[in-house]
A and B are shown apart, each in its own frame.
Chain A
Amino acid sequence: MDLTVHLPRNLILKNPIIAASGTFGFGPEYARFVDIDRLGGVSVKGISPEPWRGNPPPRVWETPSGLLNSIGLQNPGLSAFLAEDAPFLRTLDTVVIANIIGHTVEEYAAVAQALDREPAIDAFEVNISCPNIKAGGITFGHDPDAAYQVMRRVRQATDKPVMVKVSPNMAEPWTVAEAVVEAGADMISAINTVIGMAIDLKRRQPALGGVTGGLSGPAIKPIALRIVYEIARRVRVPVIGMGGIQSPEDVLEFLLAGAEAVMVGTITFQWPDRMEGIIEALPNVLARYGFQSLKEAVGAAQRPALADEEGLAP
């Protein structure tokens, strides 16, 4: 079965499985453990114009079926990324997505502009939804007008395909998705981590150095599916779904909810080769549930469009 995914601006994935940002480093780290060229794509760790230190440790804490993290977007900055990681990424035969972060609209635009010229980068994921930083980032992600401003400036800075990563930590995440599509976003990726907390009883302290953190893993899959479903029925651009995916069946759930491709993250820490296993099994699992093609599964569980539903309402 052909697993190719055609996305806007001629972005073509060889299959719908993308390594999620923040779980796959800047690329070279997993090269020893994963055949990266087999993946549909890789979204590298968030890149800011200048280096960011990140949050104090501890930065991870295990929870039931989940993982809390408070990394705080530590990254070496744009120049170091271009000098140290871009050369490796240029050698990959897969789609490389640059996840970009900033404290201000102009910082987002600066990274997009610099990487617009970098041949290693095929697309952008604008991260306005990381719950672990205080300034920037999330302040754009929870305000449709601010999100619109970020996306509009990024759109001016690059003609490469751009997706915006949406936060689940607000009542109506689709309002942000609608705003960034209005500003020129080609795709939506959803969801970022769910903000949460744990207490270390032995230390009588918050378990994470950053006090609160972002929850990922299977614990958030139902939250993610619901948001992907709601966004997919409201915007006309492709949705890249993520949140707790561990198996080809999980991928199928996201496809049926309306995602055209997915990102896989937390499970990679346990099983570095799980994404390859999912890609291998996906055609059989699609067939088992009666789908002749990948495309046929996308949105198959969607109820009638909102307009029709509203028309039926009393």
Chain B
Amino acid sequence: MAGAFKALIVTVRQVALDHVELIVEHERLRDATPGQFAHILTPGTLRRPVSFSRIDGGLGRAGLLVQVVGPGTAWIAARQVGETLDMLAPLGRGFAPPDPDRPWALVGGGVGIPPLFSAWERWGWRHRAPAHVILGARKAALVLMDADFRQQAIEPLVTTEDGSRGIMGTVVDPLRQWLSRNPDGQVMACGPNGMLARVSALTEGIAGPVQLALEQRMGCGIGACLACVVPSVPVGPDGPGYRRVCTEGPVFQREELAWSWI
């Protein structure tokens, strides 16, 4: 049975205010795909879903970039090298590989940035058309993984809401400009729902696929409990359909989601 396993923590680093990245190692992580997640045991009654920030399939290593928002994530962030994390992984539907000949925008907000870095790390090297990375944060101290992108040969465009780094504002304006130059483009995005709703609206009608990675409070993580749902099509007179973020996502095509209900 492919049950839970204990992955060894090989690296821990503070990457920004209240954000820690742990690199964990286990052979069962070899097949992980960008956009997928690990469901991590904590002392509470629920595991915590964390998407992969980087994946080294050969070594069976994956990164878990955690934002401390409550006791569960604080516990994960306090683990040390040499300890293990009990996890169910890899779970969920990750990103579909991008078309290497179509312009590609990767748009990340806050703790939504890590899965996009893993996508860039996996597929950026073979991308032939132009690519553009837009990273958003509330303030300079919260910008994530910009150096990682630079190390992987791409200069990300950084936006902060208070203007303390990069362009003042959100990822929305730079994306709008990119879309006007690249109507044949494809987009991957992950971030808060408000940001994804804007991305979804802006990308209506573009030629390439728009893949949105969602976050939701989760129960079992494997499709059984129907807790982590997101409003989806088809919408009926009495409400939307609900799809499971853990198994039908976390990555959805924009057409699958019912944004007026989210």
Contacts and interface: CB of A to CB of B under 8 A. Distances in A.
Interface stretch (A7-15, A52-60, A284-292): A52-60
Interface in A49-82: 53-54, 56-63, 65-67, 69, 71, 74
Interface stretch (A29-37, A95-103, A140-148, A249-257): A29-37
Contacts of A45: 224, 226
A60 B222 contact: no
B217 A32 contact: no
Contacts of A63: 45
A8 B2 CA distance: 35
B220 A74 contact: no
B41 A22 contact: no
A57 B261 CA distance: 10
Contact of B219 (A33, A56, A269, A273): A269
A217 interface: yes
B218 interface: yes
B224 A217 contact: no
A266 B229 contact: no
Contacts of B174: none
B226 A33 contact: no
A272 interface: yes
Interface in A30-48: 30, 32-35, 45
A217 B46 CA distance: 10
A25 B41 contact: no
A34 B44 CA distance: 22
Contact of A62 (B3, B4, B72, B236): B72
Given A58-B216, A60-B46, A269 B225 contact: yes
Interface residues of B, number: 35
A23 B220 contact: yes
Interface in A184-233: 217-218
Given A57-B228, A74-B242, A65 B45 contact: yes
A139 interface: no
A69 B4 contact: no
B2 A74 contact: no
A53 B240 contact: yes
A98 B2 CA distance: 26
Given A29-B222, A53-B241, A270-B45, A59 B227 contact: yes
Contacts, number: 108
A113 interface: no
Interface string A113-140: 0000000000000000000000000000
Contacts of A268: 220
Contacts of A272: 3-4, 88, 222
B218 A60 contact: yes
B88 to A, nearest CB: 7
Nearest to A202: B69
B159 to A, nearest CB: 23
A88 interface: no
Contacts of A54: 226, 229, 242
A270 B218 CA distance: 11
Contacts of B4: 33, 271-273
A36 B143 CA distance: 45
Given A33-B2, A269-B46, A273-B1, A59 B231 contact: no
Contacts of B228: 57, 59-60
B45 A32 contact: no
A61 B88 CA distance: 20
Contact of A32 (B1, B41, B261): B1
A24 interface: yes
Contacts of A29: 220, 222-224, 247
B224 A30 contact: yes
B226 A23 contact: no
Contacts of A32: 1-2, 222
Contact of B216 (A24, A53, A57, A218): A57
Contacts of B222: 29-30, 32-33, 272
B230 interface: yes
11 contacts: A25-B220, A29-B220, A53-B238, A53-B242, A60-B219, A63-B45, A67-B45, A74-B242, A217-B45, A218-B45, A273-B4
What 9 pairs across the A-B complex have the smallest Cβ distances?
A25-B224, A29-B224, A60-B227, A59-B227, A29-B223, A58-B217, A269-B220, A67-B45, A62-B46
